[in-house]
Amino acid sequence: MARVLVTGATGFVGGHLVQRLLDSTDHDVRVLVRDPSRLPDEGWTEEVDVATGDVGDADALRSALDDVDVAYYLVHAMSDGDDFAEVDRRLASTFARACEEADVSRIVYLGGLVPDEGEITEHLASRAEVGRIFLDSAVPAVELRAGMVVGRGSASFDLLETAVRWLPVVVGPSWLNRSMQPIALADLLHYLAAAADLPSGVNRSLDVGGPDVVRYRDLLAAHARAGGRRAPTTVTFPVLMPHTLSFLVGQVAPGPSSLTAALVHSLSVDMVCRDDDAATLLGVPPDGLTSLEDALRAG
């Protein structure tokens, strides 16, 4: 039975991934959390080994990684202030060294899609740098790059929910016409779980997304339809600056303002998969990829 360590288990994806791994009989799961009281009340807390500590603490990592085969890194410093890139860099480097010292067989990292063209945002650049740190380490790694995860609790999905529910008119830049390729939570969990079983020779990034590529403004309309609501009117202003839009959305959006700003800034580029190698290496979900409409209805 393979033993896996999941960091970020108190987060949206991490909490669901733990349950997904436990549903598979060939995984023994350990989680690393700073505060065990923040673990979600999902019924699986009694089924996992809980290690207490921070991913930046080498001693805590040494204990948490003991006898671990696969280590999941689901940590981002998106809301940790202006020095988030340095924090991300330091934490990832510490984690990579600890995995090497513990003789871990594989690192699985959840990053973000990287646009083919256009100016990459600071947060996307930082996430890509973390991926490079793991791929350049001595431990075989796979970086799954995903765009918006469709599911209540996802930061980007909750921001979308806020816009549809509370804003009768969404005022945004021409970026609302940019394309994006969201992925259903269930499909992302399938890819994450399958990544643990990749051959040791696989050390690369893989783009993962759903079957539908849509414009951001069309996503707003689709979300409204799925919830039985009237789609908000979208008005674009080509000269609207990112920080201005971030401020406006932040007045009604949940979560830290820095996180909201990072998500809004990502509207300025197309966020779509560049290839479908993930389907070849990891396989598609048993029932196929979930359509955007079905994912939105599932919430």
Residue 42 lies in a domain: yes
> Residue 283 has what pLDDT?
96
On the 0-12 / 13-18 / 19+ scale of CB atoms within 10 A, 220 is buried
Number of domain units in the chain: 1
Q: Which of 4-18, 35-49, 138-152 has the lowest mean pLDDT?
A: 35-49
Task: End-to-end CA distance of the chain: give it in Å, rounded.
Answer: 33
> Residue 238 has what pLDDT?
55
What integer is the mean pLDDT of 151-159? 73
Residue 282 pLDDT exceeds 50: yes
Residue 97 lies in a domain: yes
What integer is the mean pLDDT of 183-191? 96
Reported as a pLDDT band with limits 50, 70 and 90, residue 252 is very low
Residue 277 lies in a domain: yes
Residue 196 pLDDT exceeds 90: yes
What integer is the mean pLDDT of 45-52? 92
Strands 27-33 and 49-52, sheet pairing:
parallel
Residue 91 lies in a domain: yes
38 vs 117: CA distance, rounded Å:
39
Residue 290 lies in a domain: no
Q: Which domain holds residue 188?
A: 2-147+184-208+272-285
> Residue 50 has what pLDDT?
95
On the 0-12 / 13-18 / 19+ scale of CB atoms within 10 A, 104 is buried
Give the predicted TM-score (pTM) of the model: 0.86
Q: For the domain that residue 58 is a member of, what is the CATH number?
A: 3.40.50.720
What integer is the mean pLDDT of 263-292? 87
Residue 162 lies in a domain: no
User: CA 42 → CA 28, 290, 297, distances in Å?
Assistant: 17, 24, 22
28 vs 24: CA distance, rounded Å:
9
> Residue 60 has what pLDDT?
96
% of residues, the chain, pLDDT over 70: 75
Residue at 8: amino acid letter: G
Residue 96 pLDDT exceeds 90: yes
Residue 167 lies in a domain: no
Residue 281 pLDDT exceeds 60: yes
What integer is the mean pLDDT of 148-165? 72
Residue 241 lies in a domain: no
